[in-house]
Every structure is written in structure tokens, then in C-alpha cells.
Amino acid sequence: MNQNKTALITGASGGIGYEFAKLLAKDNYNLVLVARSEEKLQQLKMDLQTGFKISAKVITKDLSKMGAVDEIYNELEKEKIAIDILINNAGFGNFGKFAETTWQKEAEMIQLNILALTHLTKLILKGMVERKNGKILNLASTGSFQPCPLMAVYGATKAYVLSFSEAIANELKGTGVTVTALCPGPTETNFFKAAGNEDSKLVKGKKIPTSEEVAKYGYDAMKKSKTVVIHGLKNKVLASSVRFAPRNLATKISRKVIDEN
């Protein structure tokens, strides 16, 4: 790595994470790219190093597995790589009634969406505070604002991400470190296919934002040290309206929006 500042991105092999990597490389950040796909990460590394003259390091890890975060951090410590920007982008969802879905997938979802995100933040945040400089962006969701029937565990994990991000952002005031929670709605990624919900009313037959648009919005917000940002006017209105609606009504509306039938 050269003397430029360094950003670490989880879930960097595709979608929003991939777009974050390009934005950071364009701004001359060296990169630590984390995801499961070695082949995709190596190609991204080559493209970014060639196109932007930065250094990129690939760490191939499955963050839904116990121990992966410690392994990543140990590698950073061994190579004396200080992280100036942490983007916790990795995550996935699952569709179906909770009584009928597979526990193993949900356990991995909780491990990735909550435990890995929290643990990696814990480990990297200490150095940021010591240096009195750093930025963290956590990928939450418009699903953070209300219960999500048929995606119950996913919605709960994203509610955690939002609450956690807001709380530590408050704790960090005056330290030089900021935390941003990016809350996108449906986005052109592989998310709905992986969740088994390609026919959801959220996406079927609708024009939805690209990963590039969402990443740029979140990146600009992070640079401005904003705490919570919701992508898209419609999503902002819906998130705000939920705050004033009775919880049972918000849950019913969420079910209607998510349900593919």
C-alpha cells in the first residue's frame, strides 16, 4: 500500500459495494476489498489499480461465518494497514413466512448483517478514534423503519443497523469520526434474486435506482458526515409517514408492499 488513505469495503464484488469501490478509487483511496468471490475481487482489483493508479488488497472471506472478522482484522494488523473509511455493505435477505423458512440461512443472515458488521466496526473504530479521524458507512434499508412481514429477520437486522449507527454516531461527536447509515429502497442488485423474491411488488415491472446511483448518494452523504440518509423522495416520504402511523397499520402496509401475490 502507498501512503494514501485506505478504505475497506465489505461485499465489494458486486452491486452497491462494487460502486463504492469505484468511487473511492476515483478519490485516490487505496482499498481493501472483502467478499466471498476471489475471482470477482481480483478482477476488480486489477481494473481499479490500472484505471486509478491506487493499491488494492483482496481479502476473500465469508462474513456469514464465525471467525471471519477476526481473520480480516489480524491480516490488517499484520500488514500495518490503518483503515480511514469503513463501508459495511455486505448483507443479504430472505423471503417467506418465518415458520416456513430455513433457520441456517437466517442464522447466517444475523451473523452477516448484525454480528460481522458490529464486530468489524468495533475493531476498526478504536484506531479511528485514536487518530481522531475516520468515517464509517453502514448499509441499512428502508426496511429499517418498520416491521417487514415475509422478510421478518432481514427487516429486524436492518432496524438494528439503523439504531446502532445512530447511537454510535452520537457517542462519537467531537472525536473526528462520523457514522452514516444509508437507507436505500429496492435497488438494481442481485438482492431480490438471492432472497427468492424476484416477483415482489417492490420491484416487478418497476423502474428502480441503479447501484451506482445509490452508492453515489451514500458516498456524498458520508463525506458530508450525515447520520441517516434515505435514497429517493418516495422512500423518504414513506419512512417519515411510518413514524406517525400506528405500528399495526405500518406492518400491514409493509406486508402489502412486500408480498408477491
Instruction: Give this prediction's pTM.
Output: 0.89
Least confident of 36-45, 85-94, 126-135, 248-257: 248-257
Of 57, 61, 135, 158, catalytic: 158
Residue 158 falls in the annotated catalytic set: yes
Q: Is 217 a catalytic residue?
A: no
- The confidence score (pLDDT) of residue 152 equals 95
Which of 58-67, 157-166, 234-243 has the weakest average pLDDT?
234-243
Terminal Cα-to-Cα distance of the chain (whole angstroms): 51
Distance CA 145, CA 159 (A): 6
261 band by pLDDT with thresholds 50, 70 and 90: low
Residue 241 confidence (pLDDT) above 70 = no
pLDDT category at 10 given cuts 50, 70, 90 is very high
Residue 208 has pLDDT above 90, yes or no: no
Q: How many CB atoms lie within 10 A of CB 130?
A: 12
For the chain, domains (ranges, CATH) are 6-258 (3.40.50.720)
Q: Which residue has the higher pLDDT, 252 or 88?
A: 88
C-alpha dihedral (127, 117, 60, 66), degrees to nearest 10: 110
Q: Is 53 left (phi over 0), alpha (psi -120 to 50) or beta?
A: left
Q: Write down the catalytic residue from 154, 193, 223, 234.
A: 154
CB 58 within 8 A of CB 33: yes
Read off the pLDDT of residues 146-204 as tens digits, 9 standing for 90 and up: 999 999 999 999 999 999 999 999 999 999 999 999 999 887 755 545 545 555 555 44
Q: 180 forms bridges with which residues in the sheet? A: 137
